């Protein structure tokens, strides 16, 4: 469906994106504590600070960027970060090039964090642990995702959704990067997820997402590799989070080589899809 706002709150930016609500969404009136207030502030169930109506504090937004040998790309990404982002965490995966130097040169206040294990999944989990914003956005460092899209994700978090994922395969989205093989693999995995988890999501393996940090425990992330994106989506579905998709255009990696191995990582994603069927969900935040 196309919607400009959920709950009638004032959007931060990016109004008018084509959005589909997904999964088994709880009606808004089932959880009044999460409803955006008229001024767009976000009372949240657990830890969110109480804000006075007279002087609402701005919502903190953390951007987590995993990067491994992206020296030639990271500057392009960081110089486009929109003002709505309060904190940028670069999670370095032991880059052997000048990724960190380039990042600090482009954005002096960037927080560089070193991951404590291998893989993109480990990097993201490390970044999420260090993030302090109420809202967390994740995106890649290779220039394949445009920071200009970040406000679209925040718009839907601002308006009642808990987890917002980019989709290359809904109207307005696309990919200038994906190969025919990867497209076929994505489609096969997506079809399996749609059937096994009774969902209508349109993209599974895409690393441009955003969520409310208060739900990090519900996402219960454990993956070390690229399968973390699938794990996030499946755990969000199983936990009953309110999920929205926004269209996203995947650009070609600007420079350098992919870290992804189509067959090895595809098999890891499939394994997550199958294993998650057997694992019980974390307690739904809606059942409290």
Ligand X SMILES: Nc1nc2c(ncn2[C@@H]2O[C@H](COP(=O)(O)OP(=O)(O)OP(=O)(O)O)[C@@H](O)[C@H]2O)c(=O)[nH]1
- Kindly list the residues in this chain that would bind ligand X in the complex (CB under 6 A): 66-68, 70, 91-93, 115, 118-120, 123, 140-142, 144, 177, 207, 253, 258-260
Report yes or no: 255 and 143 within 8 Å, Cβ to Cβ: yes
Residue 157 beta carbon to ligand X: minimum distance, rounded to whole angstroms: 22
Given the complex with Mg ion, which of 142 and 227 has the nearer CB atom? 142
Under rule CB under 5 A, residue 69 binds Mg ion: no
Residue 252 beta carbon to ligand X: minimum distance, rounded to whole angstroms: 8
* 10 to 19, 76, 151, 179, 221: CA distances (angstroms): 17, 30, 13, 39, 31
Given the complex with Mg ion, which of 28 and 182 has the nearer CB atom? 182
Given the complex with ligand X, which of 75 and 93 has the nearer CB atom? 93
Residue 177 beta carbon to Mg ion: minimum distance, rounded to whole angstroms: 7
Kindly tell me which residue out of 144, 167, 223, 230 binds Mg ion, with binding defined by CB under 5 A. Answer: 144
Given the complex with ligand X, which of 25 and 251 has the nearer CB atom? 251
Under rule CB under 5 A, residue 265 binds Mg ion: no
Residue 258 beta carbon to Mg ion: minimum distance, rounded to whole angstroms: 6
67's contact among ligand X, Mg ion, none, with CB below 5 to 8 A by partner kind, is ligand X
Q: Which of 211, 168, 158, 171 is nearest to 190 (CA)?
A: 168
Under rule CB under 5 A, residue 142 binds Mg ion: yes
Given the complex with Mg ion, which of 143 and 151 has the nearer CB atom? 143
Greatest extent of the chain over all pairs of C-alpha atoms, in Å = 55
Residues in the chain, overall count = 288
Residue 27 beta carbon to ligand X: minimum distance, rounded to whole angstroms: 36
Given the complex with Mg ion, which of 144 and 167 has the nearer CB atom? 144
**Integer distance in angstroms from the first to the last C-alpha of the chain?**
29
The rounded distance, in Å, linking the Cα atoms of 51 and 44 is 11
| Beta strands at 163-167 and 209-212: parallel, antiparallel or unpaired | antiparallel
Residue 258 beta carbon to ligand X: minimum distance, rounded to whole angstroms: 3
Binding-site ranges for Mg ion (CB under 5 A) = 142, 144, 253
């Amino acid at each position: 469906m196309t919607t400009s706002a959920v709950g009638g709150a004032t959007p931060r930016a990016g109004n008018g994106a084509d959005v589909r609500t997904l999964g088994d969404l709880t009606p808004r009136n089932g959880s009044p504590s999460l409803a955006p207030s008229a001024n767009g502030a976000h009372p949240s169930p657990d830890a969110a600070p109480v804000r006075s109506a007279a002087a609402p504090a701005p919502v903190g937004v953390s951007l987590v960027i995993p990067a491994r040998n992206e020296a030639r790309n990271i500057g392009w990404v960081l110089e486009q970060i929109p003002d709505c982002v309060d904190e940028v965490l670069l999670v370095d995966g032991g880059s052997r090039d000048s990724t960190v130097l380039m990042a600090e040169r482009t954005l002096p206040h960037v927080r560089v964090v070193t991951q404590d294990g291998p893989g993109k999944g480990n990097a993201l989990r490390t970044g999420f642990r260090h993030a302090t914003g109420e809202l967390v956005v994740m995106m890649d460092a290779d220039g394949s995702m445009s920071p200009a899209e970040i406000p679209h994700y925040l718009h839907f978090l601002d308006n009642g959704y808990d987890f917002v994922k980019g989709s290359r395969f809904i109207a307005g989205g696309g990919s200038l990067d994906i190969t025919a093989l990867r497209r076929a693999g994505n489609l096969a995995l997506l079809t399996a997820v749609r059937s096994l988890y009774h969902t209508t999501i349109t993209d599974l393996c895409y690393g441009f997402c955003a969520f409310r940090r208060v739900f990090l425990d519900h996402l219960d992330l454990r993956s070390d590799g690229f399968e973390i994106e699938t794990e996030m989506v499946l755990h969000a579905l199983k936990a009953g989070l309110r999920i929205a998709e926004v269209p996203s255009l995947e650009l070609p990696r600007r420079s350098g080589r992919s870290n992804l191995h189509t067959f090895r990582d595809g098999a890891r994603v499939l394994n997550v899809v199958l294993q998650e069927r057997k694992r019980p969900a974390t307690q739904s935040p809606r059942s409290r």
